[in-house]
Structure 1
Amino acid sequence: MTTPTSSRGRRRAPTRIERAAGRAAALQRPRVILALLLLLALTCVLLLDGYLRAEVGGDQRVRTGASSADVPDRILNGGPILTFRGGRATTVSVPSRTIALTFDDGPNPTWTPQVLKILRAYDVPGTFFLVGSMVSRYPDVVRTMVRQGNEVGVHTFTHVDLSYQSGARVDREIQQTQLALAGAAGITTTLFRAPYSSETDAIDDYSWPVYKKLGQDGYTSVFVDTDSDDWKRPGASKIVRWATPEGDEGASVLFHDAGGERSQTIAALPRYIEKMKAKGYTFTTISGVMEQQRATDRGTGGVPDATAGALTDEATTAGTARLQAAHRTATGTTLYEGKALVAAVAVAEWTLPVLAAGLLVVGVAVMGRFAMMVVLARRHHRQRNRRRFGWGPPVTRPVSVIVPAYNEKECIAGTLASLARSTHPIEILVIDDGSTDGTSEIARAAAESLGMPNVRVIRQDNAGKPAALNNGVRNATHDLVVMMDGDTVFEPDAVRQLVQPFADPAVGAVAGNAKVGNRGTLIGAWQHIEYVMGFNLDRRMYDLLRCMPTIPGAIGAFRREAVLAAGGMSDDTLAEDTDITIALHRAGWRVVYQEHARAWTEAPGSLRQLWSQRYRWSYGTMQALWKHRGSLTDKGPSGRFGRVGMPLVVLFQIVTPVFAPLIDVFTVYSMIFVDLRAALLAWLAVLAVQLLCAAYAFRLDREKYRYLLMMPLQQLAYRQMMYLVLIHSCVTALTGGRLRWQKLKRTGEVGAPAGAG
């Protein structure tokens, strides 16, 4: 906060309100940061979840027909296991009458446990090539898999074809999967199988560099020489037949435990195991095949029992160690980063269903609100504009107009000039709340030049807007008082229209129709749409339901006795207008909306000022609702606001707007990770509904439709800011913050209604 200077350039001490504003701004910065961090965290969770849910398709190559000129023939014609020991590429074949049973694309919470149950029942180990994103989502399945003695390998993190990816992407896919394995089961692995791979003769010049690089990093790449093609779902009998090697040949056999509906695989697997055991085959893991090869190379001729002790719960026997030789115990940073990844994914997996349920509730509430507003606004308009409608005998007695002013030198003359044209007899009380810019002198000069003897200027020490309004009420001569802001311009007939409902003795206060005067700018046009649709359409609805929550500070009328009986305008909250309105409801008075009483106000001209104003409104409304929470238990007519108004305001002005960003967040999420076209059409459908509601509101207020052209941009930019303001207000309320009223900078450009356009 800069140090103020006097007109002569000397430094002066900041005023009390300036000091309070500075303290308030300093206190709010951490809360703004917290609100933004919450939004950022939500975005990160959704991005993580979307990344994890990358689609896993069938095992077909993305491209075919590529050259294999750079791949050695011994590799193309070799066995299904590719190693680079000593830097030289070597393949290993599966010994005769031996099956290395491999599974791709898991784990899956439905199919993988069924596969594991079958393997355990038949005392058969398997080698599972796991997708890292699935590992991080279902770590319990992986832990069970490893504990049973099965072997695991890397199948990339997002099931992407690495042949056409950058080196950095290849490293990331492998490392992220290793982290997921470390977090899920406390291990890493040296086995790798590329998505969309098949036999070694399919290695081409695109994929060969990837295998060489991974081989240099210590990975063993595993292919297949017998494919069950179970992903085609041809039926269990064909799956068994296609997975059976010719004669007594050994084979690395491919099945799938995820990546689609696998009921046929589950049906075929027991039949296949029984068939192969009957033919004298044994089952082992890829490491078991490597162990047999090493034994043969040593010349011992020994072939270890591939299934002996393979499935003990603790997996500690020598046989199991050989079957899981590719596993490495995760330690240090890898282990902790892996656990952090799994924990983050667990949060994302829990958050998304909750957010989806919230989205459903918000969507229903938003659509319900639109429908209710349109139906009730139409009824309100027809009721109040029919020929025979009337509040009672015309109200012609004089009215006191109270104008609280703090440093309103730009606007006060225009405000008084508009009141000079009033068609209703009035007295005007300008309450100067300690202005330092000559507001009082300008007001007196304007009254004199306009020939307005009915203007009284009352100065007081700076005490805030509620105190200024109370001062005006105490000094008012008449029993009806109209309250307005110092930057507001009334239409000539505004006061007369505003006080007519007081012909009904049950009416204690009347809300007028506030219009944005400076709508020539983009921000002003957005606020114009908001005022017509969001505020005035709402007021029609609340009027019919007899639970009007707020009389706008820009234009409202009250019975003086009702205000005094309620204790006057309170400074307990930042929304004194909402506070007094609810207090009048609880006192048994009726509060109505008079659409024909129009006033033009200067809306904030910058995003910073807009944020400040709406933050004060949102936070003040929450304060007022909390202050009057006792209305929920009020009985009789005075309890109508608590029974109807309080729930509607909380739902439509706090809960729904706070969660409304879910609609936009999920739209973006769906566009990126689900279905771009469907998500875009859904968003356009919601926008169309809002446009129709806005167009109807504009028709009722006889406004020009051209401003609705800016509504799509308003939904993309302006509305997001309003969401952040409300979230900021909620954070402040939850953390026990407190703000003082702050003065907005005015330009005085709202000079006359005719200029509003």
Structure 2
Amino acid sequence: MASPDRRGRVAAAARAGSRRRLPMRLLLPVLVLVAMMAMLMLRGYVHSEILADFRVRPEASTDKVPQKILDGGPVIDTRSGRITSLRVPDHRLVLTFDDGPDPTWTPKVLDVLKKHHAHAVFFVTGTMASRYPDLVQRMVDEGHEVGLHTFNHPDLSYQSKSRIDWELSQNQLALAGAAGIRTSLFRPPYSSFADAMDDKSWPVTEYIGSRGYLTVVNDTDSEDWRKPGVDTIIRNATPKGGKGAIVLMHDSGGDRHQTVQALDRFLPQLQSQGYEFENLTDALGAPSAHTPVTGLDLWKGRTWTFLVQASDGITDVLVVGLAVIGGLVISRFVLMLLLSALHARKVRRRDFRWGPSPVTEPVSVLVPAYNEAKCIENTVRSLMASEHPIEVIVIDDGSSDGTARIVEAMGLPNVRVIRQLNAGKPAALNRGVANARYDLIVMMDGDTVFEPATVRELVQPFADPKVGAVAGNAKVGNRSSLIGAWQHIEYVMGFNLDRRMYDVLRCMPTIPGA
């Protein structure tokens, strides 16, 4: 057998080891929590729930916009300090679709384009491209061009240059992850015709050009977002006199069934008039807007799309889990109300008895106390007013405020004080049980006040030999304050109704101290 010194050293070593292992045990839950928070933040960002800016600036003056831009074509080139604009040649149409890809409508648009052997330019947002990368890949695989439409679709005239760079780089990151490409085409959100360029949007266009992008607006606006009807969409999209045009449509942002129907009629109708539906760079005779992404940039993009997919999947699982848990909580609450009402009706009947005769034998009341000088006297005096015969044992758990002396100075009969070094409430209760004179024991806190009938009511269930322990119906005395009122609700809902339900179901999990 180990010596006392040896045992002390072993216990100390075990405690020290426990202290070292505690952070490791906490590390995994903390990492999981951080990962979950990161996934939720990522989902909120990608779904434009955080860091999104939905302001749209009203039209401004055009004093700073070059006249040749206002009078020029829908393709604006401000790269390398140049200021030029381009038009699509006659009998060539460049269909453009904004705000996608959308899991419902983009596949339908792609199907119609494929059916009529037409190509188009899709100006995708980074949020949608990150969530539906397979659709971006399909666009590229089927020969369409893809352009940037920012990541979160803000009005860039409100944004700083650093935010503009962020919108562009994040949009390119999503493209790299989805299809392994970069693009040189850009369409500003909320843009219109070239002659709508103003003093707020023109500086943005110049800056975008300095970053290596062609800005693409449009010649004809189908206004399909208004859902004006298929005939109106076709009429709005059709250029006059056989001229070439860049046509604005949408494949996302709401119900686009009119767009799909109009497109299925518009394509053969214009093709019969000699129009060709081409990519923008093909129509302009320029090199492709797409550049393959390789190496680290490609892996960054793939990692990004993987994390976005993971965040959506995890949060979808969380939503389902919360729905299930919410349903269970509501079901439990309804069951608790029904069973607690049944229990109350049972025990409040006039003829209800716990057993053949009431319990009258004396009771030992244990009061563990640690620094309860402010309230211990009220606690003990409330017990002395008890209608049931009792002895009171106050276990002073190493108090430093004179709790034990206050009780001893009261000089009350049947009140004993037991002192011990501070060892905690469980040890104090065990010490009290060891010193109790009677078989029935009531435990209470040192800051609690009993009504005169409390002890008598608490012990009456022991008239039933099947009862092993009793938990009281705790009340909050100071319900006049807001905090007290909320605590009262907590006690009623969290303790008392629960106990009634458990009693009816005969599955009481624990006997709380309160």
TM-score (structure 1 length as normaliser)? 0.59
Q: Give 1:16-165 correspondences, 5 Å limit.
A: 38-39=32-33, 41-54=35-48, 62=56, 65-165=59-159
Q: Is the 8 A contact 1:100 1:127 kept in 2?
A: yes
Instruction: Give 1:133 deviation, angstroms.
Output: 0.6
Instruction: Give 1:87 deviation, angstroms.
Output: 1.0
Instruction: Give 1:223 deviation, angstroms.
Output: 1.4
Q: Secondary structure at the match of 2:249?
A: strand
Q: Is the 8 A contact 1:103 1:256 kept in 2?
A: yes
Q: 1:232 to 1:410 in 2, by over 3 A?
A: closer
Aligned to 1:736: none
Distance in structure 2 (CA, Å) of the matches to 1:27 and 1:483: 35
Q: Give 1:363-374 correspondences, 5 Å limit.
A: 363-374=326-337
Aligned to 1:283: 277
- For 2:141, give the aligned amino acid: R
- For 1:425, give the aligned amino acid: P
Q: Is the 8 A contact 2:372 2:403 kept in 1?
A: no
Q: Is the 8 A contact 2:388 2:453 kept in 1?
A: yes
- For 1:541, give the aligned amino acid: M
Distance in structure 2 (CA, Å) of the matches to 1:137 and 1:169: 21
Aligned to 2:5: none
Q: Secondary structure at the match of 1:146?
A: helix
Aligned to 1:452: 413
Instruction: Give 1:436 deviation, angstroms.
Output: 4.3
- For 1:277, give the aligned amino acid: Q
Structure 2 portions without partners, runs of 5+:
1-7, 50-54
Q: Give 1:607-622 correspondences, 5 Å limit.
A: none
Aligned to 1:186: 180
Distance in structure 2 (CA, Å) of the matches to 1:379 and 1:539: 12
Aligned to 2:491: 531
Q: Is the 8 A contact 1:515 1:531 kept in 2?
A: yes
1:210 to 2:210 alignment: no
Q: Is the 8 A contact 2:219 2:247 kept in 1?
A: yes
Q: Secondary structure at the match of 1:482?
A: strand
Distance in structure 1 (CA, Å) of the matches to 2:412 and 2:58: 91
Aligned to 1:630: none
Q: Is the 8 A contact 2:390 2:414 kept in 1?
A: no
Q: Is the 8 A contact 1:429 1:458 kept in 2?
A: no
Q: Secondary structure at the match of 2:248?
A: strand
Deviations 1:274-331 (A, max 9, x none): 2333222323211113326xxxxxxxxxxxxxxxxxxxxxxxxxxxxx4xx2112234
Aligned to 1:381: 344
- For 2:388, give the aligned amino acid: H
- Equivalent position to 2:361, from 397, 416, 427: 397
Q: Is the 8 A contact 2:373 2:406 kept in 1?
A: no
Structure 1 portions without partners, runs of 5+:
1-13, 56-60, 293-321, 555-757
Distance in structure 1 (CA, Å) of the matches to 2:422 and 2:215: 79
Distance in structure 2 (CA, Å) of the matches to 1:241 and 1:40: 53
Distance in structure 1 (CA, Å) of the matches to 2:86 and 2:205: 15
Q: 1:452 to 1:68 in 2, by over 3 A?
A: same
Distance in structure 2 (CA, Å) of the matches to 1:445 and 1:237: 93
- For 2:300, give the aligned amino acid: E
Distance in structure 1 (CA, Å) of the matches to 2:252 and 2:84: 30
- For 2:322, give the aligned amino acid: L
- Equivalent position to 1:420, from 368, 379, 384: 384
Q: Give 1:529-568 correspondences, 5 Å limit.
A: 529-554=489-514
Q: Secondary structure at the match of 1:490?
A: coil
Distance in structure 1 (CA, Å) of the matches to 2:313 and 2:233: 37
Distance in structure 1 (CA, Å) of the matches to 2:474 and 2:21: 32
Instruction: Give 1:426 deviation, angstroms.
Output: 2.2
Deviations 1:659-689 (A, max 9, x none): xxxxxxxxxxxxxxxxxxxxxxxxxxxxxxx
Q: Is the 8 A contact 2:57 2:158 kept in 1?
A: no
Aligned to 1:263: 257
Distance in structure 1 (CA, Å) of the matches to 2:292 and 2:428: 73
TM-score (structure 2 length as normaliser)? 0.84
Q: Is the 8 A contact 2:79 2:213 kept in 1?
A: no
- For 2:290, give the aligned amino acid: H
- For 1:343, give the aligned amino acid: F
Instruction: Give 1:530 deviation, angstroms.
Output: 1.9
**Worse overlay, 493-502 or 212-221:** 493-502
Q: Secondary structure at the match of 1:481?
A: strand
Aligned to 1:344: 307
Q: Give 1:189-588 correspondences, 5 Å limit.
A: 189-291=183-285, 322=287, 325-331=288-294, 334-392=297-355, 393-404=357-368, 415-430=379-394, 435-437=397-399, 443=404, 446-447=407-408, 449-453=410-414, 455=416, 457=418, 466=426, 469-470=429-430, 472-473=432-433, 475-515=435-475, 526-554=486-514
Q: 1:423 to 1:86 in 2, by over 3 A?
A: closer
Q: Secondary structure at the match of 2:473?
A: strand
Q: 1:458 to 1:216 in 2, by over 3 A?
A: closer
Q: 1:516 to 1:331 in 2, by over 3 A?
A: farther
Q: 1:85 to 1:407 in 2, by over 3 A?
A: closer
Deviations 1:581-629 (A, max 9, x none): xxxxxxxxxxxxxxxxxxxxxxxxxxxxxxxxxxxxxxxxxxxxxxxxx
Q: Is the 8 A contact 1:413 1:443 kept in 2?
A: no
- For 1:175, give the aligned amino acid: S
- For 2:306, give the aligned amino acid: A
- For 2:119, give the aligned amino acid: P
Distance in structure 2 (CA, Å) of the matches to 1:429 and 1:26: 39
Distance in structure 2 (CA, Å) of the matches to 1:412 and 1:70: 81
Distance in structure 2 (CA, Å) of the matches to 1:449 and 1:380: 41
Instruction: Give 1:26 deviation, angstroms.
Output: 7.3
Instruction: Give 1:192 deviation, angstroms.
Output: 0.4
Q: Comparing both chains, which one has the higher relative contact order based on Cα–Cα distances under 8 Å and sequence gaps of 6 or more? A: 2
Instruction: Give 1:152 deviation, angstroms.
Output: 0.6
Instruction: Give 1:406 deviation, angstroms.
Output: 6.4
Distance in structure 2 (CA, Å) of the matches to 1:161 and 1:438: 66
Q: Give 1:590-601 correspondences, 5 Å limit.
A: none
Distance in structure 1 (CA, Å) of the matches to 2:304 and 2:207: 26
Deviations 1:702-752 (A, max 9, x none): xxxxxxxxxxxxxxxxxxxxxxxxxxxxxxxxxxxxxxxxxxxxxxxxxxx
Figure out how many residues of one structure are paired with residues of the other and give that number: 502
Q: Secondary structure at the match of 1:390?
A: coil
Instruction: Give 1:19 deviation, angstroms.
Output: 11
| RMSD over aligned Cα atoms | 3.7
Q: Secondary structure at the match of 1:103?
A: strand
Q: 1:22 to 1:368 in 2, by over 3 A?
A: farther
Deviations 1:89-144 (A, max 9, x none): 10111112222222211111122122222333333222111111100110111111
- For 2:442, give the aligned amino acid: V
Q: Is the 8 A contact 2:399 2:422 kept in 1?
A: no
Q: Is the 8 A contact 1:518 1:524 kept in 2?
A: yes
Distance in structure 1 (CA, Å) of the matches to 2:115 and 2:190: 30
Instruction: Give 1:362 deviation, angstroms.
Output: 3.3
- For 2:194, give the aligned amino acid: T
- For 1:228, give the aligned amino acid: S
Distance in structure 2 (CA, Å) of the matches to 1:251 and 1:442: 91
Q: Is the 8 A contact 1:115 1:257 kept in 2?
A: yes
Q: 1:525 to 1:27 in 2, by over 3 A?
A: farther
- For 2:46, give the aligned amino acid: L
Q: Secondary structure at the match of 2:354?
A: coil
Q: 1:406 to 1:21 in 2, by over 3 A?
A: farther
- For 1:91, give the aligned amino acid: S
**Worse overlay, 170-179 or 75-84:** 170-179
Q: Secondary structure at the match of 2:285?
A: helix
